[in-house]
Amino acid sequence: MNRDDTRDLLIEIDSYVEGLFAPPDPALEAALRRSREAGLPEINVSPNEGKLLQLLAETAGARRILEIGTLGGYSTIHLARALPEGGSLVSLELDERYAGVARENIREAGFVDRVEVRVGDAKTLLARMVEDGEGAFDLTFIDADKGGYPEYLEWALRLSRPGSLILVDNAIRGGSVLDPEDESARATHDFNEALAKDPRLSALVLPLIRERIDGIAIARVLVD
Ligand code: SAH
Ligand code: DHB
Ligand code: MG
């Protein structure tokens, strides 16, 4: 099979899995519709990746979740669904307008009591969270500007405990990470390498299929 055939097959497999395990869902579809109508970029996680986020959060028994990069709250709703009674999620978003759309989506999905969207540069917001002694978070999902990932990882570690999960989106970028000379994926290429070597974490990058192949890094915090 050539690469194009393989690509088509992978997309068919992704749709097959989605049909079985992440079928159409009114709250999620409404969130995507509102996001589209508001002109937000369509760069949310896929339905299957969303389901994976929910499953990982459930498996981790996460009661406190941190998200970096809210957009319209599509991934946020998946993560919030994993929270038990009394659990909470803080999501950080640079763009005030995106945050407004996310808040509406989160409210309509029924999570207004558990989810807080904070507006600002995540670096500033995270520094304040550490200063204020917020945390520990049981799970952090990093999905904002790719150049900021090394710094987000450091803040996430400071807001974690041993056993916390740190998940990182867009680890494969259509395979462009395979080429260390590809400028568009340089930050991700270097980040993956640093993650693999980091003695504070036990980690893996898992490829995920969507219109193009991407992936998620799953890391377990080993240190205090
Ligand atoms: N997690 C979302 C997608 C996030 S897209 C989902 O899957 O549904 C990335 C988001 O990160 C965008 O909304 C963008 O505005 C935000 N972002 C980019 N730079 C940021 C920064 N410095 N601080 C906080 N958010 C940032
Ligand atoms: C893209 C996808 C993402 O999941 C993201 O966080 C940022 C950009 C993209 O496909 O361009
Ligand atoms: Mg992403």
Residues 6+ apart with CB under 8 A from 46: 14, 18, 208, 210
- For residue 57, is the peptide bond before it cis, meaning its omega torsion is within 30 degrees of 0? no
Q: What is the pLDDT of residue 210?
A: 86
Q: What is the pLDDT of residue 74?
A: 99
Q: Work out the average pLDDT over 67-72.
A: 99
Q: What is the pLDDT of residue 7?
A: 87
d(CA 44, ligand 3 centre) in Å: 6
Say which ligand is closest to the CA of 49. 1
> Can you list the domains of the chain with their CATH numbers?
3-221 (3.40.50.150)
Q: Is residue 147 classed exposed, middle or buried when 0-12, 13-18 and 19+ CB atoms within 10 A define those classes? A: exposed
Q: What percent of the chain has pLDDT over 90?
A: 94
> Which residue owns the Cα nearest ligand 2 atom 8?
43
Give the pLDDT band (50/70/90) at residue 211: confident
Across all residues in the chain, what is the average pLDDT? Answer: 97
Q: Is the pLDDT assigned to residue 155 strictly greater than 90?
A: yes
The amino acid occupying position 222 is L
In DSSP notation, 5-65 reads HHHHHHHHHHHHHHHHHS---HHHHHHHHHHHHTT--S-SPPHHHHHHHHHHHHHTT-SEE
Q: What is the pLDDT of residue 176?
A: 95
Q: Is the pLDDT assigned to residue 125 strictly greater than 70?
A: yes
Q: Does ligand 1 lie within 6 Å of residue 149's CB atom?
A: no
Q: What is the pLDDT of residue 1?
A: 64
Q: Does ligand 2 lie within 6 Å of residue 49's CB atom?
A: no
Say which ligand is closest to the CA of 32. 1
Alpha-carbon span 130 to 86, nearest angstrom: 22
Q: What percent of the chain has pLDDT over 70?
A: 100
